[in-house]
Amino acid sequence: MQRLARVVLPIAFAVWGCGDQPSGPPARPVAAPARPPAPAAPSAVEEGTVSLARNFYFVLDGSGSMGEDPSSKCSAGETSRFRTKIDAARWAVGQFLEKVPPEDRLGLYVFDQMGQREVVPLDVGNRDAVLHAVEAVREGGATPLAEAIITGVDALSAQRRRQLGYGDFRLVVVTDGEATGRRLEDGTIHALENRIPIYTIGFCVGRSHTLFRYSVAYRAANSPEQLRRGLEETLGELESFDIRAFGGS
């Protein structure tokens, strides 16, 4: 009898377990495995390409003083064939552009009687566009150097990111007068913070221009020929420039 009880009890419990389950809280659903996060969109740097390309952004002063007779403040013997300083600058820029390698990237910012603006974005293969824009300058208006420098610095900084920090980047300013409007230091500090060097050619103003203090290199050009040579030297080692500590006094 005891042996029968040992057999019957396990069978009874097994049959009961196959029937209705005892009441109680419902089981929690099993959460689906989390999906891996989507890959982040590539940044501008990740989309760039390592490049040793050289980049030159030019600021050309076309203010009212560029309409003066260059012989009044420059070397008279070398300026007599030019009616105005902007005429002399057009000639110098035209001569210079013939020496620019086609693989170099150029940009141009102008201020003249038509206002201040970027006339040629920083790019390769645009020498003709730069020359065209220079020929179209009509002297007049103020000298917003700070705004021009800030625009050039931003263009060069963006291109440096696209080149992953490699290459050469220079801001070249050709001017015959002091800044008007916004403080010049707003532009020079912006250049310093973004590590963009300023190369200045002071046309018929000697070394008295304020940018002499803030440029890594400064050339006093007292004739169209010196202006041309100064522009060409921005492409090289600048031996004949006054080399200065950037941001120094």
How many C-beta neighbours within 10 Å does residue 224 have? 25
Give pLDDT, residue 81. Answer: 81
Mean pLDDT within 80-88: 88
In a domain, 19, yes or no: no
In a domain, 180, yes or no: yes
Pairwise pLDDT comparison (209 vs 242), residue with the higher score: 209
What CATH number corresponds to the domain at position 82? 3.40.50.410
Give pLDDT, residue 161. Answer: 97
pLDDT at 128 exceeding the cut of 70: yes
List pLDDT tens digits, range 177-190.
Answer: 999 999 999 999 99
Mean pLDDT within 192-198: 97
Band the pLDDT of 6: cuts 50, 70, 90: very low
Question: Domain count of the chain?
Answer: 1
At 8, which helix (H) or strand (E)?
Answer: helix 2-17
Query: 5-30 burial, b if ≥16 CB within 10 A, otherwise e?
Result: eeeeeeeeeeeeeeeeeeeeeeeeee
List pLDDT tens digits, range 132-177.
Answer: 999 999 999 999 999 999 999 999 999 999 999 999 999 999 999 9
In a domain, 21, yes or no: no
pLDDT at 14 exceeding the cut of 60: no
In a domain, 149, yes or no: yes
Measured distance CA(69)–CA(50) in Å, rounded = 46
In a domain, 248, yes or no: no
In a domain, 208, yes or no: yes
Structure tokens at 6: 């040992």
Give pLDDT, residue 47. Answer: 67
Look up the domain containing 144 and give its range. Answer: 54-243
In a domain, 193, yes or no: yes
Give pLDDT, residue 150. Answer: 98
Pairwise pLDDT comparison (53 vs 8), residue with the higher score: 53
In a domain, 33, yes or no: no
Q: What is the pTM of this model?
A: 0.77
Residue 180, classified by CB atoms within 10 Å of its CB into exposed (0-12), middle (13-18) or buried (19+), is middle
Give pLDDT, residue 248. Answer: 44
